Structure 1
Amino acid sequence: MLRGEPDRVPLVEIGIHPNIKSAFLGRPVKGLGVEVEFWAKAGYDFIPLPMGLVTVLMGDFRRRGRAASMARGIMRAAKAKYGVVHDEEMEKLWAKEGKGIITTMEEFESFPWPTAEDFDYSILEAMAKHMPPGMRLVPVTIGYLAPAYFLMGAETFFVSLYENQRLVTKILEKAGRIELDVLEKMLEYECVGAVWITDDIAYSDNLMISPKHLRQYLFPWFKRACDLCQRKGRPVMYHSDGKYYDVIGDLIDCGFNAIHGIEPKAMDIVYLKRTVGDRLCLIGNIDLAYTLTLGTPEEVAEETRQRLREVAPGGGYCVSSSNSIPEYVPFQNYNAMRETVLRYGTYPISI
């Protein structure tokens, strides 16, 4: 990721909605072969794949190959007109903001925690069979802090940082051990080329919790995960929304090779390139808040060209949305970003 200029600027996304994939291929995305076909034809070198506790929290968990949703009560469903393109209502799952399903030690003990052996890893080899030479899978995990505030409810979690630290520690230790064990099993597969840890720690104007608490509760787990990936020879990427300048040095010390998201309204990617670009690969910064969702294809193309001009020279930059590509991104806007990179992203950059 930081080995100088490659042949081209990589295209990267942590997730793309099936509607966008179908619009690109001209048919529904059904089956692993078609999933691989999308990522390969669209210009990506890898396929992101949610693994570990994120599948539990989102209701996609399969216990030893059998459907076993454990998300009941963890998330709440809400219908609304989320899109700017379509008028119909859609249902989305959201983390509970108040009281979650684990607020006491008794609830912690009674929760049906999975073990690493309960997860189904067969999809790794099954998908790899469809991939062209050189393509790799990148497991996406939910990290170590997020399971705590998903399970406890955000308000309960924040209050418990001061009033019930024992419960917070117990949940983080349990979730952390599960995620590390899952990570160790995934890294046994040759088709796994890197690992992506997603763990939001910031809002657009500041950190969600203090640097002190992050250093106490979260970063030691990040360090263990990064050390494991490094021992196995895999780079590890980190995703968080928001503004987290205050702990960039901590993330570097943990051992991350790249940071993803880099919301334009929260952090200045040109400043990051100048100050930490020799230690972190920068991924993202194409604005999901306006340009990709509400802008025109021409605006998307211009913003993408600007990122290529300002950040790509010297290497260490991958083009991506500032979060992901949800269904409410117009396909024409997504495609404008993608085609701009394919047209102008060959090194040496000359725009």
Structure 2
Amino acid sequence: MTRKENLLAAIHRTGPEWVPNGMENTIRLYPPILERPLSAGKDAFGCIWDLTEGAVGGTYSREGDHILHDLKDWKNVVKFPDVEMFDWEYVQNQVGNLNRDEFLFEGFVEMGLFERSYLLLGMENALINYMLEPELMFELVSAIADYKIKFIQKFDDMIDLDMVWFGDDWGSQHNLLIPPDKWREIIKPNLKRVYDCMKERGIIINQHSCGKIEDVFGDVVELGADMWNMCQPCNNLKKMKNEYGDRISFHGGIDSQFVLNAPDASVEGIIEEVKLRITEMAPGGGYIAGPSHTIPSHKPELLEAFYGAIDEYGGSAYKK
């Protein structure tokens, strides 16, 4: 079994020979216009991003810099980019002479329905409107979904994508950022349309969401996501695996916050965390090992321990 074949077997839960390490043999393709720019300035929607001086990447939106101050004006204020005007040749050049027999081509689609709504409105204003103006918020989120569908269709037309990483953070460390009933009322029907677009094209759906999303995870499974990316341990991952592991796959889960990047991070602690996560999540396939966010790049010995433990325990997970 090749690495690509093993990765697909893990995603589809059809008998992988080992637990894949991260997204090995996946080429992430970045669109010509990033919705989260790498440097300070405006994105394609006119939303303002800032960057800490001296930092590389990690732009952030500041509360108060939003462009939509009154939700009732959204049709006049919000201007969706024309996907036909993007430099798609740039994306085709990323592919170059890569061998599709070796790699999955994954399109990177960030700033999903919820994230784009609060980038336009500002977080506080958006959260208020999700509660007080659900009908208007549905209209705005529906328009965002329309744009995402056009974007994904064009991306796929140009590259023939195998998979899409669809990013949209719905949770904090403790709860969803909006109540589950509002997520189901406003986000879910529009997310279904985005998913349906990908399914019609045979694209694997890799839904990224940070935070504690247990309250709507069953809905994500119901909509047909193939994989959940990040799997942060603020969720009860073992319970979610036991309940939904025959219908969705998990990517991530190895604790970045309290283990990999902890001030007292140790080789021994990292090895134990990797072993625990693989033991809990690997049975039956459907697990791609990886961090719950960033990796410990500040100390080479920690990084070596992380990857070494995945190779050791992931490599033997399905051996009898």
Question: TM tier, shorter chain?
Answer: 0.7 to 0.9
Q: What is the CA distance between 1:94 and its match in structure 2?
A: 1.8
Give the counterpart letter for 2:16 in structure 1.
Answer: P
Query: Within 1, Cα distance between the matches of 2:204 and 2:68?
Result: 33
Which residue, out of 51, 62, 78, partners 1:77? 51
Pair 1:100 & 2:66 matched: yes
**Change over 3 Å in CA distance of 1:211–1:195 after alignment to 2:** same
Give the counterpart letter for 2:82 in structure 1.
Answer: T
Q: What is the CA distance between 1:346 and its match in structure 2?
A: 2.5
Match of 1:188, SS?
Answer: helix
Question: What pairs up with 1:324-339 in 2 under 5 angstroms?
Answer: 324-325=294-295, 329-339=298-308
Match of 2:98, SS?
Answer: coil
Q: For each residue in 1:14-40, what CA deviation from the matched residue of structure 2 results, as whole angstroms up to 9, or x when unmatched?
A: xxxxxxxxxxxxxxxxxxxxxxxxxxx
Which residue, out of 115, 119, 136, partners 2:82? 115
Q: What is the CA distance between 1:185 and its match in structure 2?
A: 1.6
Give the counterpart letter for 2:37 in structure 1.
Answer: M
Q: What is the CA distance between 1:285 and its match in structure 2?
A: 0.8
Question: What pairs up with 1:1-351 in 2 under 5 angstroms?
Answer: 1-12=11-22, 44-51=24-31, 55-58=34-37, 69-70=43-44, 74-79=48-53, 92-98=58-64, 100-104=66-70, 105-106=72-73, 109-132=76-99, 133-142=101-110, 143-165=112-134, 168-189=137-158, 192-264=161-233, 266-294=234-262, 295-325=265-295, 329-346=298-315, 348-349=317-318
**Change over 3 Å in CA distance of 1:120–1:330 after alignment to 2:** farther
CA contact (8 A) 2:206 2:226 kept: yes
Q: What is the CA distance between 1:182 and its match in structure 2?
A: 0.8
Give the counterpart letter for 1:136 in structure 2.
Answer: L
CA contact (8 A) 1:286 1:304 kept: yes
Give the counterpart letter for 2:14 in structure 1.
Answer: G
How big is the alpha-carbon RMSD for the aligned residues of Structure 1 and Structure 2? 2.9
Q: For each residue in 1:206-255, what CA deviation from the matched residue of structure 2 results, as whole angstroms up to 9, or x when unmatched?
A: 11101121112211122112212222122101111121221112111211
Q: What is the CA distance between 1:181 and its match in structure 2?
A: 0.4
Q: Which residue is equivalent to 1:41?
A: none
CA contact (8 A) 2:145 2:191 kept: no
CA contact (8 A) 1:98 1:155 kept: no
**Change over 3 Å in CA distance of 1:52–1:247 after alignment to 2:** farther
CA contact (8 A) 1:2 1:278 kept: no
Query: Within 2, Cα distance between the matches of 1:236 and 1:89?
Result: 31
CA contact (8 A) 1:292 1:329 kept: no
Q: For each residue in 1:297-332, what CA deviation from the matched residue of structure 2 results, as whole angstroms up to 9, or x when unmatched?
A: 33222211222222212211011111244x865444
Q: Which runs of 5+ in 2 are unaligned?
A: 1-10
Query: Within 1, Cα distance between the matches of 2:280 and 2:47?
Result: 45
**Change over 3 Å in CA distance of 1:324–1:227 after alignment to 2:** farther
How many residue pairs are counted as aligned between the two chains?
304
Sequence identity (%): 23
Give the counterpart letter for 1:100 in structure 2.
Answer: H
Give the counterpart letter for 2:173 in structure 1.
Answer: S
**Change over 3 Å in CA distance of 1:141–1:134 after alignment to 2:** same
**Change over 3 Å in CA distance of 1:217–1:321 after alignment to 2:** same
Query: Within 1, Cα distance between the matches of 2:315 and 2:221?
Result: 28
Q: For each residue in 1:268-300, what CA deviation from the matched residue of structure 2 results, as whole angstroms up to 9, or x when unmatched?
A: 222122111111101111111122112123322
Query: Within 2, Cα distance between the matches of 1:145 and 1:115?
Result: 20
Q: What is the CA distance between 1:256 and its match in structure 2?
A: 0.4
**TM-score, normalised relative to structure 2:** 0.83
CA contact (8 A) 1:207 1:243 kept: yes
Query: Within 2, Cα distance between the matches of 1:92 and 1:300?
Result: 25
Give the counterpart letter for 1:246 in structure 2.
Answer: D
Query: Within 2, Cα distance between the matches of 1:10 and 1:343?
Result: 11
**Change over 3 Å in CA distance of 1:91–1:225 after alignment to 2:** closer
